[in-house]
Structure 1
Amino acid sequence: MTATDSPLLLDIAATGFPVLQPGHGPIPSATYVPATPGNTLWGRLPCEADAPVAAVRPGSVLTVDTLSHEGVLEDQGRDPRAFFARYGVAGAHVLDDAQQTANSDTAHDFDDDGPHLVTGPIAVTGARPGDLLAVTVLGLTPRVPYGLVSARHGFGALPGEMPSLPGPQMTFATAHADGAGAWGRMAVDSSDPARGALHFPLRPFLGVMGVAVPGDERPHSVPPGRHGGNIDVALLGEGATLYLPVQVDDALVYFGDPHFAQGDGEIALTAFEASLRATVRVEVIPGGAALRPGHGRVTPFAETDDLLIPIGLDEDLDEAMRDCVRCALDLLVTDYGIDRHLAMAYLSAAGDFAVSQVVDSVKGIHGKIRKSDFIEVTRPS
């Protein structure tokens, strides 16, 4: 593993982001779910047989702590305080729940399980299969002002080619908030500060939001699917709503894989991985899986105030694109009553499609459809 010892401690106060230990700092809702070992799964996603760690009614707002897996994984030593000390992070500025998880007997098989820590499941009482669960992201607050981008051999967009050096490649990054906004920083050469740094905007979002699958077998945390999970769509930040087809009674929703920023594609293997505190609203649309986006479609999609966001998922990137286009057509037919052939023509002229990620075995495509293009269209009654 490549890591460079830092001669100086990271000045947390200068970053503009305080460290949010469990239970400390702003918690803007009455229901709070910390990411303690008893409230999390590691490398697997919840299934129907899992008992909820909390329960809320439809329409509720809840605050959930999420943990990055970086610094906790076995090939990083399973000791986040020791791991981040290499980058100048004082032990007091490492999250207690991350260290507790690393020190715990929480089951995790590095070779067979995924890397992700997920908080939940949380029951949404009364949700039933056939309903849609609408998860609206109201707030995302960094819990620490630092994190990593990781690349490991055999993964990413260029397996066998990058990384070109032996061992996993870990790139340390910091987060900052000031008059210029919220931005990330990566040193060009950690051994020569005079060479400067790369700066880029922060766009926090949760890579994993999903609902439990039927049965008693927990799915692997890496591939996304109709349950949601590791979708990694960077548009799902504050203000976005993700629609998930409910699979089991009470939905059993969960959250994880926090990111401070991710480019479309997530080509290295991970994005800027760092822990977030999320505040979300969960609502149930009865029978929604059969009503929207239409044609019996039962896979996730999303929206913001400005955009409809169709999502396509498949191991084959071409098929993921076709899946996304079908989702886009379904949304336009159902929401606006537009003829399917006209919708296809519109999407070719004005819709945008992008690769969400190519690193999760099941690849993702997402679209961007401007709602403002339809202000003169009368919705079907």
Structure 2
Amino acid sequence: MSVLQPHDGTTEGSFYLAAELGTTAWGLLPNAASRPVLTVESGTVVCLDTTSHEGILPDQGRDPVKFFAEAGIHERDVLRDAVELAASAEPFDAETRGPHVVTGPVAVRGARPGDVLEVEVLRLRRRTDYGVISNRHGRGALPGEYPVPAPGHEDGLPVPAVSLVAHVAPDGRGRLPVGDGRDVRFPLAPFLGIMGVAPATDAPVHSVPPGAHGGNLDIRLLGEGARLFLPVQVAGALFYAGDPHFSQGDGEVALTAFEAPLRATLRLTLHSDASTRRLASRLAGPYAETADHYLVTGLDEDLDEAVRKATRSALAYLSERCSLPGAVALAYLSAAVDLRISQVVDRVKGVHVCLPKTDLHPLLTGAAPAAEPQTGEAPSTELTR
């Protein structure tokens, strides 16, 4: 494939945001004091580029051209936005900032706290045919065991990060070189690890831990066709996206998954009806919908507590949307529903509950999970500009 540089190729929707210095933030998420780079009406389709943090970080040399050259990738195939950000004066302090680059924020006119912003993922296009999977800084699911020190490593010194460059094979599958001439092949399923709204604080917001604002949820099911619902925290919502993945396994145990840049086409729709506001208040966090499931989340630094929160959210959803008594809902969850670990590496662990639509459609009461847009106009369906 050809590399999808900023402003190159076709874009979709009413607006396009390249991942440039004026439209991105590195390591910190937008907060209540942030100024939007774009303001849109509810129902607008926005196309935005996202930049992967892999290859630009200081422990990788903060020079993506040199970093990727070591994996045989030519300078012309390295994204300009990655090169410009790495070479900029943008500060990076691993003690106070996360690694992620986010594009935005985008304000949605009329959004107010208590409303819900629906983010519909219409299309995700790969911007490169390579990316990186990293295990670094003693993090991941096995801190202290991986990364394994290289022979001759001196005790007491930090173990260098292990960053493996993976590729997209001609058949469209992921290809991870083993190092002995063989490859591990696996399916791709692109998604945005970070989609969120600004939290109601003026303090800096670290990009790593997810929360009620969404952010670094790392739910791999949020690919094309998914809809994420985010409780609005501040006026305008101030939506942003980043942390693009070509694929990820539930858990993301190494620390990162197949991190690689995407061009995302998203529809942003505001909901302010009483039913949706009440559901969002009961769940107190992000929820989502795919072709097959309704998803609710549980987030906590303790994985056991994240499981408890996810289960309570599922009970609240089943009560609100299906009028199920608690004891019946809990029995149903235990008999038929999967609780999946989104990730265990983002300080705040994530669990998502997958509620099957086929089971619940006959029981739905009241408003559907996605109410009509509150603008008085039909959402834009324009996809090509």
Q: TM-score of the superposition, structure 1-length normalised?
A: 0.91
Once structures 1 and 2 are overlaid, which stretch shifts more, 350-359 or 295-304?
Answer: 295-304
Gaps of 5+ in 1: 1-16
Which residue of the partner structure matches residue 143 of structure 1? Answer: 127
Q: 165, 175, 180: which one pairs with 2:168?
A: 175
Tell me whether 1:78 sits opposite 2:62 in the alignment: yes
Distance in 2 between the 1:378 and 1:97 partners? 46
Distance in 2 between the 1:95 and 1:288 partners? 44
Contact 1:148 1:274 in 2 (8 A): yes
Distance in 2 between the 1:209 and 1:177 partners? 29
Letter in 1 for 2:303: L
Tell me whether 1:122 sits opposite 2:97 in the alignment: no
Distance in 2 between the 1:54 and 1:288 partners? 27
Letter in 2 for 1:240: A
Q: 327, 338, 349: which one pairs with 1:363?
A: 349
Which residue of the partner structure matches residue 42 of structure 2? Answer: 58
Distance in 2 between the 1:103 and 1:278 partners? 25
Distance in 1 between the 2:57 and 2:281 partners? 42
How far off its partner does 1:163 sit? 1.2
Q: 204, 213, 225: which one pairs with 1:239?
A: 225
Letter in 2 for 1:203: A
Which residue of the partner structure matches residue 158 of structure 1? Answer: 142
Contact 1:139 1:279 in 2 (8 A): yes
Tell me whether 1:314 sits opposite 2:307 in the alignment: no
Letter in 2 for 1:338: L
Distance in 1 between the 2:169 and 2:197 partners? 33
Which residue of the partner structure matches residue 102 of structure 1? Answer: 86
Tell me whether 1:255 sits opposite 2:245 in the alignment: no
Q: 68, 93, 115: which one pairs with 1:131?
A: 115
Distance in 2 between the 1:232 and 1:353 partners? 15
Evaluate the alpha carbon distance shift between residue 277 and residue 177 of structure 1 in structure 2; reply closer, same or farther with a 3 A threshold. farther
Letter in 2 for 1:302: A
3-state SS of 1:320 partner: helix
Distance in 1 between the 2:361 and 2:41 partners? 34
Distance in 1 between the 2:17 and 2:236 partners? 17
Cα offsets for 1:122-162 (capped at 9, x unmatched): 11111000101111111111100001100013200010011
How far off its partner does 1:112 sit? 2.3
Tell me whether 1:88 sits opposite 2:72 in the alignment: yes
How far off its partner does 1:367 sit? 1.2
After TM superposition, list the pairs within 5 Å mapping 1:258-337 onto structure 2.
258-286=244-272, 291-293=277-279, 296-337=282-323
Cα offsets for 1:149-208 (capped at 9, x unmatched): 000132000100111124111111001353xxx31001111xx42xx2100000100000
Tell me whether 1:68 sits opposite 2:52 in the alignment: yes
Letter in 2 for 1:285: H
Evaluate the alpha carbon distance shift between residue 213 and residue 380 of structure 1 in structure 2; reply closer, same or farther with a 3 A threshold. closer
Letter in 2 for 1:163: P
Gaps of 5+ in 2: 150-158, 368-385
Distance in 2 between the 1:341 and 1:291 partners? 25
Evaluate the alpha carbon distance shift between residue 256 and residue 289 of structure 1 in structure 2; reply closer, same or farther with a 3 A threshold. farther
Contact 1:130 1:289 in 2 (8 A): no
Once structures 1 and 2 are overlaid, which stretch shifts more, 350-359 or 280-289?
Answer: 280-289
Distance in 2 between the 1:175 and 1:378 partners? 41
Letter in 1 for 2:330: M
Contact 2:29 2:206 in 1 (8 A): yes
How far off its partner does 1:310 sit? 1.0
Distance in 2 between the 1:35 and 1:366 partners? 29
Contact 2:116 2:232 in 1 (8 A): yes
Using the aligned pairs only, state the percent identity: 51
Cα offsets for 1:67-105 (capped at 9, x unmatched): 000111111111111110000110010000111111111
3-state SS of 2:93 partner: coil
Tell me whether 1:201 sits opposite 2:178 in the alignment: no
Evaluate the alpha carbon distance shift between residue 295 and residue 147 of structure 1 in structure 2; reply closer, same or farther with a 3 A threshold. closer
Tell me whether 1:27 sits opposite 2:17 in the alignment: no
Q: TM-score of the superposition, structure 2-length normalised?
A: 0.90
How far off its partner does 1:108 sit? 2.0
Distance in 2 between the 1:153 and 1:24 partners? 36
How far off its partner does 1:295 sit? 6.0
Moved over 4 A (4+): 287-290
Letter in 2 for 1:365: V
Distance in 1 between the 2:275 and 2:210 partners? 18
Distance in 2 between the 1:345 and 1:88 partners? 54
Letter in 2 for 1:28: E
How far off its partner does 1:111 sit? 3.2
3-state SS of 1:376 partner: helix
